[in-house]
A and B are shown apart, each in its own frame.
Chain A
């Protein structure tokens, strides 16, 4: 071993150790936030924040089926009690009457601080006459049965004002005293995990707690079943799916590749040596992503199995092609071609680095570092480790066997033109249906899981969650004050019919300023008694019956203001927590907006918010579509840029327009064919298909470059190496095509066929007829 050789091996070993350390200490993630943008606009930031941390990301929906209705109700109550006591949930709701009674009591006790009707005018003699007269009128109504008992203490009907805020919402059905599905056959509960959406482990513990507590309370009712859904379950399912898929893919493709290499080499030593660059590359790739992004996404690792398919090519080229001569020969004759192939691949992957999707940027960084290391190990380390007089079995027989076919392909060159025209026509005709515009299609959730979620949501009457007004402020009080301003504007829109309704945290927690103003509007006891006398003059109600009212107003004038703490543990507190959130030093208010029968007048809404700096109106559905469209558009440009970089690199290196075109033509054609075929098969292309197409170009460029050498079709060694390399690539990506994770499936289904096409088309186009 030369001195330089020893240095190379030493650097390699040190590098491996360093990478292993980084990987060992690193973090693996599997939430879908890697496929959310990194540099979002203001509205996207809210969307991403909601998906990662927001209340939706913490909402667990539970259903209890089987047994009979009273049993389900009993289980629902027992489960809710245990979950609330577990400390892992910010709130648990099951529609239990007892819980509502507590909320009602809280509202009743604080009615003069909470009711928007409370002001000085309402407590003037005329205002009292009006309000009490209304309450007496209400006694004539069916609703009077309820208000009658409240009248002595709440003659102005403030509690009704507050309850009306609840009435506007869709309420779940109720069976045997707890929430249920419409048909009453399923008890429904809902809980908010304390763990945020991005804390998959914490959410996993919460979901496990739900299942364990249910098992405990339902121990003696074996026919009762628990269903759990919601965003936390989704992220757990996603992580589990990705993990099992990645493991399965790694095993399947590793076995496939090992078998192919063994068949080709018939040597364990060669196999072990051949896998060294791949493993080094994969390790380096993961380490690079850890250093660059702080953690590695499961999908990146899954994608890494495909890199095995490409990186193993280098050692295949080396072993097969160096068989005929010395290492120096190989370095002189083949290495420049391989190097150019590596460089073109790097150009392709480098474009991914600029993607605003952290997931794609991770794939880019992983591939770039992995390929560089794999190629460098092949070039500098492998020759050092190769035992003296080591040679793999002669594979040229394979090359000779296919050589006539390869030459024959050259005769079919005319076919390429026809196929190119046909594929272009398909892509052109279907250009409007080419791309998939739904972000949700990247989600790894099986349809059954989504269906369960939709059904539980429908039970809760929680089908619309699409519109939000978002505000930010540096303190809770300022956030509440801003929310009150916005709520006043929104109320105008409700009255005008532009929107159906809205929620605001200030309904349950008014700003301190507002609470103080309401308290100040309440007259002193003696003053109130005097005004009451006047107000009741011509009403059939005597002031003596309203002593409770005088007492309660006097109490309200001296009682402490409502705070977030005083609402803790109640449904009101939970509602406030969902709508008012602290992130670092910022407070964010989310006001859900409901559409009216005629939909939502977004223009009127935006106009109403115009005077509120920093207030945003968000249509979550539209926003997520736009977000995805933005990133798809960005990825298309990046891919085109990557392709342009590859073309420039080839032109600069080959110094011939004709040769450059000859290398690029089969690649472009392979891409067109794959697009056309997938479209004809009814598959809508996503961002990840696009990445797959880019990969096709990167991988295929190696083949095209070898054929461009001109002698390949006649060189059985080179031909054999290409065949073996191609089959390992196809195995790697073919395994991905069977994945149920859409992201991985999309890449596999694109690159697998694309690689074969690139090889065949390169053979067709590049066989120089003059040599035949």
Chain B
């Protein structure tokens, strides 16, 4: 079903806080320090700015990341919803409706999910398959831009930006092709 294809491409796959420490500093060292992250729980607040609406839509809930492949996003407001990304499978539960998507069926969705998973897991090779990477800032306050190579991904999202300090990802911003954007801020609950 193509609803799924579109769904699969969703930016709002998320994740969680990280920690560890870093040494001399460039993309490789950032990736290495991200890779050491052990996962855990975090609170998120996501703000979507949509031209159609007079004010942003805000949702919040909890994230739970178990490296390298499982990520759970439990939205509590405004409506309960659970999204689980586990290996090749993406599951979305909303009320009585359950959607399951096999990511390998949907190459665009897979590339998208990999942007998130690749960053969380510090897998530079995986990220470079679909994106150009650009790092700026300092170890204490860095931002990493992911610019999609593939037109099919670019049709949905033109830039994904991760911001953080050391090996913590603190926020993610998705800039969509139509100018709408989403920003998710992440606050570790028990991350190490």
Which residues of chain A have a CB within 8 Å of any CB of chain B? 97, 100-101, 104, 136-146, 148, 151-152, 163-164, 166-167, 171, 173-175, 184, 540-542, 545
CB distance from A521 to the nearest CB of B (A): 24
Which residues does chain A contribute within 8 Å of B53, judged by CB atoms?
A: 136, 139, 540-541
- The reply on B1 being an interface residue by CB < 8 A is yes
Q: Which residue of A lies closest to B96 (CB)?
A: A495
Considering the chains assembled together, what is the distance between the CA atoms of A197 and B6 in angstroms? 39
Which residues does chain A contribute within 8 Å of B180, judged by CB atoms?
A: 148
Contact partner, A148, options B5, B52, B55, Cβ 8 Å: B52
B106 lies within 8 A of A145 (CB): no
A141 lies within 8 A of B75 (CB): yes
On whether A143 and B7 interact (CB within 8 A), knowing A167-B1, A167-B97, the answer reads: yes
B57 lies within 8 A of A136 (CB): yes
Considering the chains assembled together, what is the distance between the CA atoms of A184 and B106 in angstroms? 12
A140 lies within 8 A of B58 (CB): yes
CB distance from A708 to the nearest CB of B (A): 75
Considering the chains assembled together, what is the distance between the CA atoms of A174 and B63 in angstroms? 29
A145 lies within 8 A of B104 (CB): no
On whether A151 and B52 interact (CB within 8 A), knowing A100-B1, A140-B57, A174-B106, the answer reads: yes
CB distance from B156 to the nearest CB of A (A): 7
Q: Which residue of A lies closest to B54 (CB)?
A: A540
Q: Which residue of B lies closest to A141 (CB)?
A: B81
On whether A545 and B1 interact (CB within 8 A), knowing A148-B180, A167-B99, A174-B105, the answer reads: no
Q: Top 10 closest A-B pairs, CB basis? A: A140-B59, A142-B10, A146-B6, A540-B54, A174-B105, A540-B55, A540-B53, A140-B57, A137-B79, A137-B78
CB distance from A104 to the nearest CB of B (A): 7
B102 lies within 8 A of A173 (CB): yes
Q: List 23 A-B contacts (CB under 8 A).
A: A97-B5, A100-B1, A139-B50, A140-B48, A140-B57, A140-B59, A140-B78, A141-B12, A141-B79, A142-B7, A143-B10, A144-B48, A145-B9, A145-B11, A145-B12, A146-B6, A164-B97, A167-B1, A171-B1, A173-B105, A175-B105, A540-B53, A541-B54
- The reply on B133 being an interface residue by CB < 8 A is no
On whether A141 and B94 interact (CB within 8 A), knowing A97-B2, A146-B3, A163-B1, the answer reads: yes
CB distance from A119 to the nearest CB of B (A): 20
Which residues does chain B contribute within 8 Å of A174, judged by CB atoms?
A: 105-106
B52 lies within 8 A of A145 (CB): no
Which residues of chain B have a CB within 8 Å of any CB of chain A? 1-3, 5-7, 9-13, 46, 48, 50, 52-55, 57-59, 75, 78-79, 81, 83, 92, 94, 97, 99, 102, 104-106, 156, 180
On whether A101 and B2 interact (CB within 8 A), knowing A143-B94, A164-B97, the answer reads: yes
Considering the chains assembled together, what is the distance between the CA atoms of A145 and B104 in angstroms? 20
Give 10 new A-B contacts, CB below 8 A, not counting A100-B2, A137-B57, A145-B7. A139-B50, A140-B57, A140-B58, A140-B78, A141-B79, A143-B94, A144-B12, A145-B12, A151-B52, A541-B52
Which residues does chain B contribute within 8 Å of A151, judged by CB atoms?
A: 52
Considering the chains assembled together, what is the distance between the CA atoms of A51 and B23 in angstroms? 72
Considering the chains assembled together, what is the distance between the CA atoms of A148 and B85 in angstroms? 23
Which residues does chain A contribute within 8 Å of B102, judged by CB atoms?
A: 173
Considering the chains assembled together, what is the distance between the CA atoms of A171 and B101 in angstroms? 10
B10 lies within 8 A of A140 (CB): no
Most buried by B among A137, A139, A145: A145
Considering the chains assembled together, what is the distance between the CA atoms of A721 and B185 in angstroms? 101
A140 lies within 8 A of B79 (CB): yes
Contact partner, B13, options A142, A144, A163, A542, Cβ 8 Å: A142
CB distance from A163 to the nearest CB of B (A): 5
Which residues does chain A contribute within 8 Å of B105, judged by CB atoms?
A: 173-175
Q: Which residue of B lies closest to A164 (CB)?
A: B97
Contact partner, A545, options B52, B94, B106, Cβ 8 Å: B52
B48 lies within 8 A of A139 (CB): yes
Most buried by B among A97, A148, A152: A148
Q: Which residue of B lies closest to A159 (CB)?
A: B3
Q: Which residue of B lies closest to A166 (CB)?
A: B1
Contact partner, B6, options A140, A145, A542, Cβ 8 Å: A145
Considering the chains assembled together, what is the distance between the CA atoms of A163 and B180 in angstroms? 25
Considering the chains assembled together, what is the distance between the CA atoms of A114 and B38 in angstroms? 49
A145 lies within 8 A of B79 (CB): no
Which residues does chain B contribute within 8 Å of A163, judged by CB atoms?
A: 1, 3
Which residues does chain B contribute within 8 Å of A138, judged by CB atoms?
A: 79
